[in-house]
Amino acid sequence: MSERLREAARPAVTVVIAVYDERRHIAECLETLGAQRYRPLEIVVVDDGSRDGTAGIVAGFPDVTLIRRAHLGAGSARNAGAAAATGEILVFVDGDMTFPPEFVDRLVAPMLDDGAPGTFTKEILVANGDRPWARAHMLGRGLPADRHMPGTFPDRWENYRAVWRRHFERVHGFDEIGHGEDVTLGRKLGVDAHVAPGAVCGHYEPDTLLDIFRSARWYGRGERIRERPFAWRAYHPLRMARRAAGLARRHRRPELAVYRLVFDAGVLAGWLTRGRPGAAAK
């Protein structure tokens, strides 16, 4: 069978990217997606009210569909991108990620070969691991310094990276709740995504203290933290100081105390400002 016939026999994939102030990385993200081996492949970018010129960079990629809108948050932006998609399979990635050419092929393989409802990848590597604060961000959250998930991570998870469009539409997509919206799809479907072996990708982590604070503030404004009983108690200043000192002592790295204080301060700031206009957004 010719390559063209093989492509025609495969379901179309739409990659949806919700972006907010991703000027630093969006060009690399789109270049690596444009080089994917999987065809047919569509790319839809939803610019969620960026203020740093992200949309202008995306507009320079003629094969990419760009949707511009007000800043309403990642869940809402992903749903908007899915509504504009034409593919039978939806793939959701971030604008600060990068992908080898076989990524989409391997991500959707369990769906095409085994009938999986959707997939995720455990092989998310830290793209800027040479940056000290990026490594601190990983270690400070109890993760390996070079990747998002330990080798013992299970092969089923509620966080979908790829999903059949019919399943997505049946449950009306993601809940629009700020941080934590990524797991709502799997919870509404009532079935976990399957791991996609070999679907390696890179992810740029916050690599300045300001970026770490902003990331933590988004977490503090979201719903996931509210699933933890009495989570607010953890952000008493004395507990924050003890946690920072313990982290630095455990890893024998004094800078991790600074990281933890900045991160916890961001979470607390997000918690206190939740409910204000735009608070659900990153």
Per-residue pLDDT at 161: 97
Comparing 110-119, 142-151, 202-211, which segment has the lowest mean pLDDT? 142-151
User: What pLDDT score was predicted for residue 27?
Assistant: 98
Average pLDDT for 249-258? 94
pLDDT digits (tens, 9 = 90+) for 216-234: 998 888 766 666 656 667 7
Sheet holding 13-19, edge to edge: 64-69, 41-48, 13-19, 89-94, 162-164, 118-120, 193-195, 156-157
Domain range list for the chain: 3-130+147-203, 209-273
- Residues 137-175 have pLDDT tens digits of 999 988 999 999 988 899 999 999 999 999 999 999 999
pLDDT exceeds cutoff 80 at 92: yes
Report the chain's mean pLDDT, rounded to a whole number. 90
One-letter amino acid at 95 equals G
pLDDT higher than threshold 60 for residue 279: no
| Res. 109: pLDDT tops 80 | yes
Percent of the chain at pLDDT > 70 equals: 90
> What is the H or E stretch that residue 5 is in?
helix 3-9
| pLDDT score for 150 | 86
What is the value of pTM for the model shown?
A: 0.88
Contact between 133 and 209 under an 8 Å Cβ cutoff? The reply is yes
**What token pair was written down for 239?**
């507990």
Is CATH 3.40.50.2020 what the domain over 3-130+147-203 is classified as, yes or no?
Answer: no
In this predicted structure, the answer to whether residue 1 has a pLDDT above a threshold of 60 is no
pLDDT of 221 reads 81
The whole-number pLDDT of residue 195 equals 98
